[in-house]
Chains A and B, each alone.
Chain A
Amino acid sequence: MAPIFQEIPISHFILLSCTLFCIGVFGVLFRRNAIVIFMSVELMLNSVNLLLVAFSAYHNDPAGQIFVFFVMAVAAAEVAVGLAIITLIYRRMRTVDIAQLRALRN
């Protein structure tokens, strides 16, 4: 346990991370712009990273920070492919409003 956790309890890190995650969930459900939804997903990934690093410091275990690297790598790959797909959708439909993307319905 790093000395910082005598000053700030780990539960406050949990609360902050959960708050950021829920803001991300709210963004995914509330927004209609596909790119902003994507950004909300990034926000959720970052909140999880924050909690991983906090617990890595709490338990003195570097494995948590290694895991953060892999989360970042997956996020970068996901952004590259996801934005390519969004660009493709925009090229076809001229919109990124998810309420108007009904091609798969029926």
Chain B
Amino acid sequence: MLAVVFYALAAATVALALLVILARNPVHSVLFLVLVFFGISAMYLLILDASFVGVVNIIVYAGAIMVLFLYVIMLMNLNQAAEPRHPRWYAWAVGGAAALLLLVLASTANLLLQRQGTPEAAPADIGTARTLGKILYTDYILPFEVASVLFLVAIIGAVVLGRKDAPPAEEETLTQNS
């Protein structure tokens, strides 16, 4: 039963991911990408028993990040298909390269998988907020704090970049003062 759900979700996710790439209107791309993220979150929740990661994926990716994308697209007024296309030979070349990469990646991963044996069956209860929280705040406390510093840097960077014509104004004042 779960296998059917998995293969249906996988097929839907791959089809939607292709639509993200092939949609000519950037707004459609964003909406398809939200659906891809929902598909991946459903896989976390239903199949892999990773409830906390699944919920966080919906909140962070499908919620926050995609709203940011949509906001920027609307801000730039890009919501029409105005993008010129590459020539047809280029599309085939890039598609062939991507297919080749898929072949290499999948075969290498399966080769590596065959080298190591299958792990033993054990009761799986690792995806809950309780387990993950315990580990995150004990074993991984240093990376957690470093991530907060990273966020601080990102906030400052975004604010500095988003300031209205900041770099030229600064240069002008510098040259005027000197």
B side interface size, CB within 8 A: 81
Contacts A1-B118, A14-B110 known; A87 to B72 CB distance under 8 Å? yes
Q: Are B56 and A22 in contact (CB under 8 A)?
A: no
Q: Which residues of B contact A77 (CB under 8 A)?
A: 150-151, 153-154
A36 to B24, CA, bound (A): 10
Min Cβ gap B126→A in Å is 4
Report if A62-B135 is in contact (Cβ < 8 Å); known contacts: A39-B30, A40-B21.
Answer: yes
Q: Is B8 an interface residue (CB 8 A)?
A: no
Q: How far is the CB of B56 from chain A (nearest CB, A)?
A: 7
Can you show 10 pairs from A to B with CB atoms below 8 A apart?
A1-B120, A7-B3, A10-B113, A22-B101, A22-B102, A24-B17, A29-B98, A76-B151, A85-B161, A97-B84
Residues in B whose Cβ lies below 8 Å from that of A58: 119
Interface size on A, as a range, is 35 or more
Per-residue contact bits, chain A 28-39, to B (CB 8 Å; 1 contact, 0 not): 011111011011
Chain A hits for B83, CB < 8 A: 31-33, 36, 97
- State whether A42 and B122 are in contact (beta carbons under 8 Å apart), knowing that A21-B105, A22-B101, A66-B136 are contacts in the complex: no
Q: What chain A residues lie within 8 Å of B139 (beta carbons)?
A: 63
Contact B95 A36 (CB under 8 A): no
Instruction: Map CB proximity to A onto B32-73 as digits: 1 under 8 Å, 0 otherwise.
Output: 010011001001100111101100110011001100110011
A32-91: which residues lie under 8 A (CB-CB) from chain B? 32-33, 35-36, 38-40, 42-43, 46, 49-50, 53-54, 56-63, 65-66, 68-70, 72-81, 83-88, 90-91
Q: Which 5 A-B pairs have the closest CB atoms?
A: A77-B154, A2-B124, A84-B161, A26-B98, A27-B21
The 8 A CB mask of B87-122 against A (1 = contact, 0 = none) is 000110011011101100110011001000011111
A57–B65 CB distance below 8 A: no
Are A26 and B94 interface neighbours, CB within 8 A?
yes
Task: Give A15 Cβ to nearest chain B Cβ, in Å.
Answer: 5
Q: Are A4 and B47 neighbours in the complex by a CB distance under 8 Å?
A: yes
Contact with A1, one of B94, B122, B143 (Cβ below 8 angstroms): B122
State how many angstroms separate the Cβ of A17 from the closest Cβ of chain B. Answer: 9
For residue B57, which residues in chain A have a CB less than 8 angstroms away from its CB? 46, 49, 72
Question: B97 contacts which chain A residues (CB < 8 A)?
Answer: 25, 29
